[in-house]
Amino acid sequence: MKVVFFGVLIICVLMSGCVEVDSRLLDSYNEAHDRDIVERFIKNTPTYQMGGKSLNQVTMYSAVCRSTDSKDSEVSSVCWRAVYDFESVYEGYGFREGADLVSGKVKHTIEVRLMDGLVVRGVIDGVWDAVDQKMI
């Protein structure tokens, strides 16, 4: 019974606004959480899975992103643009299993746009759409 009482009490205090959360802590948490989403996206792309290594964040910054689904061009509440680079042991993009792979040390750069916690764009070397897996 005491656990339920204290749980209800904590919820009431939080909802009443008596406890203020520093927005910088929340922003820091959101950035770290969104960085994790971006890195998981990159590591799961076929280009990275086909010999990718040494993933390195170049930059990550908040930006104004407009929703493409919205007719009135609403500004997204949370939007990040991240640029990473990585090396690959094979040339090319996408899923290439069974193809004649050309070995080499290839450096790739990927720009990822994250809107409201979802990857909405991922472009490798300015030529490969990592979301739709096709040349741009």
As given in the structure block, the two tokens for residue 13 are 């205090």
Q: Residue 87's pLDDT is what?
A: 97
Phi and psi angles of residue 27, each rounded to the nearest 5 degrees, phi first: -60, -40
Q: Residue 27's pLDDT is what?
A: 54
Q: Residue 118's pLDDT is what?
A: 92
Q: Residue 46's pLDDT is what?
A: 95
Degrees, nearest 5: CA angle 130-83-106: 65
Q: What's this model's pTM, rounded to 2 decimal places?
A: 0.72
Q: pLDDT band at residue 120, thresholds of 50, 70 and 90?
A: very high
pLDDT in tens, 4-61: 565 555 665 555 555 444 444 445 557 889 999 999 999 999 999 989 999 999 999 9
Q: Residue 95's pLDDT is what?
A: 86
pLDDT in tens, 74-86: 555 568 999 999 9
119, 131 contact by CB (below 8 A): yes
Q: Which residue in the block uniquely carries the two structure tokens 């990585």?
A: 86
133, 125 contact by CB (below 8 A): no
Q: How many residues does the chain have?
A: 136
pLDDT in tens, 91-114: 889 988 777 777 889 999 999 999
